[in-house]
């Protein structure tokens, strides 16, 4: 049988997930992808900003971490098909650990009439570390 090659996503790649990302939300979101990987849907890339990755996410709030931080907790991020070419599946973490990872940076996505939008400070008790725009490569330490 031929071996299937799976792309190893670099540790520095950003992981962006839409929604509040509470343990209950993460638990409800766990699905088995048609490829057989069980986990939660995320957007992930090295060369894109948080805002660029968030374009494919239909939620007004996002959580952000890195692939390296997911792996440090015993999970992994596997490239899978989805809404965009940057879609992947975060697998191997409990909902509580997933929340801890994705809570590192939470922001509200404000979309305008144009395809660009701005990640803005949330109005809840969560705090954005910084704001970014799709043309900016600025990302804070997550």
DSSP symbols for 47-74: SS-HHHHHTT--SSEEEEEEHHHHHHTT
Q: Name the 3-class secondary structure at 128.
A: coil
Distance (Å) of CA 3 to CA 6, 10, 19, 52, 88: 9, 21, 36, 33, 20
Residue 101 phi, psi (nearest 5) = -70, -45
Q: Give pLDDT, residue 126.
A: 41
Residue 114 pLDDT greater than 80, yes or no:
no
Residue 19 phi, psi (nearest 5) = 100, 180
Dump pLDDT digits (tens) for 1-60. 555 556 789 999 999 998 888 889 999 999 999 999 999 999 999 999 888 898 888 887
Domains and CATH numbers, the chain: 14-120 (3.20.170)
**Is the whole model's pTM more than 0.75, yes or no?**
no
Confidence of residue 92 (pLDDT cuts 50, 70, 90): very high
């Amino acid at each position: 049988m031929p071996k299937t090659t799976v792309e190893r996503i670099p540790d520095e790649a950003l992981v962006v997930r839409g929604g509040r990302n509470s343990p209950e939300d993460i638990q409800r979101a766990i699905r088995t992808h048609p490829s057989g990987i069980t986990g939660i849907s995320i957007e992930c890339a090295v060369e894109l900003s948080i805002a660029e990755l968030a374009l494919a996410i239909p939620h007004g709030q996002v959580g952000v971490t890195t692939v390296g931080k997911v792996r440090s907790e015993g999970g992994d991020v596997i490239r899978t098909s989805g809404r965009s070419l940057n879609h992947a599946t975060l697998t191997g973490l409990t909902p509580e650990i997933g929340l801890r990872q994705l809570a590192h940076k939470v922001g509200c996505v404000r979309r305008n009439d144009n395809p660009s939008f701005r990640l803005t400070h949330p109005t809840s008790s969560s705090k954005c570390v910084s704001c970014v725009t799709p043309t900016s490569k600025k990302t804070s330490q997550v």
